[in-house]
Amino acid sequence: MGQESNLPNDNKPRKGGHAQEVCPEQEAGSGPEQEVGSGPEQEAGSGPEQEAGSCREPGNNASSDTNGGRQPASMKARAVTGAVWLFMERGGVGVIEFIFAWVLARYFLMPEDYALVGICALFIAFAGLFTQGSINYSLIQKKDISEGHKSAVFWVAAASALILYAVMFFAAPWIAGLYEKTVLVWLLRIQGLTLLFDSFCVVQAALLTREMRFKVLFAKTAMTVTLAGVTGIVSAALGLGVWALVLSTCVASFTGCIFLWIACRWRPGVRFRLKALSEMLGFGSAMLASNIINNVYASALPLLMEKLYPADTLGYYNKSKTIPGKVSETINTTVANVAFPSLSAFQEDPGRVRDMMRRFIKVSSFATFAVMAGLFAVAKPMILFIYSDKWANSVVFMQFICVMSIFLPMDSANLQAIKAFGRGGAYLLLEVIKNVLGFGALIAALLLTGGMGITGLYIVMAVQTAVSFICTGINASFGKKLMNYSVFQQLRDVLPSLLLAAVMGAAVYSVTFLRIPYIVMLLIQVPLGVAIYFAGAKLFKMDSLEYILDILKDKLRKKNNKGSAG
């Protein structure tokens, strides 16, 4: 692949008003949208109260251009660099989280425990869509936001969470009866408290994302993962069983909420105009409907699995997602957190969005292909060595999930571009088409494989994998219309990395045919995979590797310079 020599100069002035707004508080005066009852207070950026609603500390202002706005000259480079660095930092947190999960799964808990918590998580995640998957997206996507917009999102999210938690509380006995597991009643009621905690910090999280303050978000994740892991292990050691997972989840959610309130200086106003809410409902309602449809489809297999297969099957499935699922979550979160706000900043310049999209897709795919191909190849020795033989049924599930996640960066980047352009209706239409296709294929596969046991479930997973590839193509098809970046151009950009990952994966997988201890097998496979992929990327001069190495060198140089100055 050649270098992207056609990228525009990052020092050129940006088009569009939003291009000059990285921090949402850098707005002009409130004008007619001033809050009712706000008295002499002004919108952030309008005078002495400039920092009133900002997530930034006083004095932490970016350099300004001649117009007094925030200078976005390095937005593209900063966004892509942030994506790479955020991916690596979240990967480090993932390692910590994995260690805690490994201790719990190997020494304390059983597959049935994970199945119970998995059922609760499905219902809580669905309820969470109404508080964290709707109008809060508008705080990131809109060109200009006021204090009224922020307060409206906060109070709507808080009120929605209280109502939904009350419904979940009283519906818990019915849900427990549906699965014939009475323990689910209080498991759901206690774990459901996370819905409240998460809703109370939804605006703070959105503002930090809009400002691209990823180090703060990373610190929050690192802290909550550590506290949750310690809580889980201590609780499990005390014999609390499945409650160890519930308590660790609640601790993570509660401490994360407290952290965001401390890190973000914005506080909600008591009153807001209904007009501020209505301005965000169009895009936000489309996001909500899309997320509901997507969540129903994503939850269908686990819910049906619990009803149609042995009780521990969902536990095997959930455990198989621990490592590839964490990698997928890291990729998806990284791309979404960086791509959505940065692409939104240039929504009036499709050419610039296309250039940023190319870099996002190429760099993130380069890393994803290597990780997923490697995990597919080492799935058997990794699960059997780390978790023991009792989790052997998770091996094939894990391999399917790795294949299913291979094009996740392309999928996620295209969806973020559609959202960045404010095309909520198109986003919703895509979700309807994809999930009708996926749900139909899932039901057909379940009916055709009924009575085949876990082998039938493997066939269902294969069908879902094929559907995921088709859905990626559907998402990417909008790239041609929005920014002149077609499906075939995207595939051409990532093809070299995909072929190299396939060769590496095949070489690493061949080691599993040796009759050697699993630990020895892993010690051979991991270095072999890294060496093949790195050497191949250097040999064929893949620019994604050079880009990542340049970022690492730049970070190290800045740290060394800072150390020398100190």
DSSP 542-555: -HHHHHHHHHHHHH
Query: What distance in Å separates the CA atoms of residue 100 and residue 233, rounded to the nearest whole number?
Result: 7
Tokens of 153: 């999102």
What burial class does residue 8 get, using C-beta atoms within 10 Å of its C-beta: 0-12 exposed, 13-18 middle, 19+ buried?
exposed
User: For the packed helices 214-237 and 322-345, what is the interaxial angle rounded to 10 degrees?
Assistant: 160
Q: How far is CA 81 from the centre of its chain?
A: 17
Query: What distance in Å separates the CA atoms of residue 98 and residue 342, rounded to the nearest whole number?
Result: 30
Look-up of token digits 């917009």: 149
Q: Please check whether residue 16 is in contact with residue 344, taking contact to mean a CB–CB distance below 8 angstroms.
A: no
In a domain? residue 431: yes
Query: Please, what is the average pLDDT of the chain?
Result: 78
- What lies within 8 Å, CB to CB, of 75 at 6+ separation is 10, 14, 19, 22, 342, 345, 346
Q: Please check whether residue 188 is in contact with residue 176, taking contact to mean a CB–CB distance below 8 angstroms.
A: yes
Calculate mean pLDDT across residues 525-538: 95
Answer yes or no: is pLDDT of 358 > 90. no
DSSP-derived 3-state class of residue 70? strand
Last residue of a domain, one of 298, 332, 358: 298
Calculate mean pLDDT across residues 435-440: 84
On whether the pTM is more than 0.85, the answer is no
Query: What distance in Å separates the CA atoms of residue 145 and residue 500, rounded to the nearest whole number?
Result: 45
pLDDT higher for 59 or 49?
59
User: Percent of the chain scored above 70 by pLDDT?
Assistant: 78
Tell me the pLDDT tens digit for each residue of 361-407: 888 899 889 999 999 999 999 988 888 787 888 888 899 999 998 99
Last residue of a domain, one of 298, 327, 351: 298
Of the pLDDT bands very low, low, confident and very high (cuts 50, 70, 90), residue 74 is: low
**Is residue 126 located within the same domain as residue 167?**
yes
**Is residue 317 located within the same domain as residue 417?**
yes
Beta strand spans in 76-221 (E): none
Predicted local confidence at residue 79, as pLDDT: 60
Number of domains the chain is built from: 2
For residues 271-309, b (16+ Cβ closer than 10 Å) or e, as one string? Answer: ebbeebbebbeebbebbbbbbbbbbebebbbbbbbbeeb
- What lies within 8 Å, CB to CB, of 413 at 6+ separation is 335, 339, 357, 360, 361, 364
Predicted local confidence at residue 428, as pLDDT: 81
Question: What are the beta bridge partners of residue 70?
Answer: 64
**Is residue 290 located within the same domain as residue 334?**
no
Predicted local confidence at residue 87, as pLDDT: 63
Answer yes or no: is pLDDT of 303 > 60. yes
**Is residue 245 located within the same domain as residue 116?**
yes
Predicted local confidence at residue 59, as pLDDT: 43
Query: What distance in Å separates the CA atoms of residue 34 and residue 310, rounded to the nearest whole number?
Result: 58
Answer yes or no: is pLDDT of 24 > 70. no
In a domain? residue 64: no
In a domain? residue 274: yes
What is the extent of the structural domain holding 149? Answer: 111-298
Q: How far is CA 264 from the centre of its chain?
A: 21
Least confident of 53-62, 160-169, 227-236, 246-255: 53-62
Give ∠ CA 532-533-539 in degrees, rounded to 5.
85
**Is residue 273 located within the same domain as residue 388?**
no
**Is residue 278 located within the same domain as residue 319?**
no
The enclosing H or E element of 156 equals helix 147-179
In a domain? residue 400: yes
Last residue of a domain, one of 255, 271, 298: 298
Least confident of 24-38, 140-154, 320-334, 488-502: 24-38
In a domain? residue 103: no
**Is residue 318 located within the same domain as residue 187?**
no
Tell me the pLDDT tens digit for each residue of 179-210: 888 999 999 999 999 999 999 998 998 888 88
Using CA atoms, how far residue 242 sits from 188, 246, 253, 319, in Å, is: 12, 7, 18, 14
Least confident of 193-207, 314-328, 503-517: 314-328
Region of 35 on the Ramachandran plot (φ > 0 left; ψ -120 to 50 alpha; else beta): beta
Least confident of 3-12, 245-254, 337-346, 471-480: 3-12
**Is residue 252 located within the same domain as residue 387?**
no
Q: Kindly state the DSSP code that residue 18 receives in the 8-state scheme.
A: G
Tell me which amino acid residue 100 is.
F
**Is residue 347 located within the same domain as residue 274?**
no
Calculate mean pLDDT across residues 536-560: 81
**Is residue 250 located within the same domain as residue 355?**
no
**Is residue 228 located within the same domain as residue 351?**
no
In a domain? residue 292: yes
Answer yes or no: is pLDDT of 504 > 90. yes
In a domain? residue 91: no
Q: Please check whether residue 84 is in contact with residue 361, taking contact to mean a CB–CB distance below 8 angstroms.
A: no
**Is residue 456 located within the same domain as residue 548?**
yes
- What lies within 8 Å, CB to CB, of 80 at 6+ separation is 338, 356, 359, 360, 363, 547
Answer yes or no: is pLDDT of 533 > 90. yes
Sign of CA dihedral 137, 143, 148, 151: positive
Look-up of token digits 């973000």: 264
In a domain? residue 48: no
pLDDT higher for 175 or 304?
175
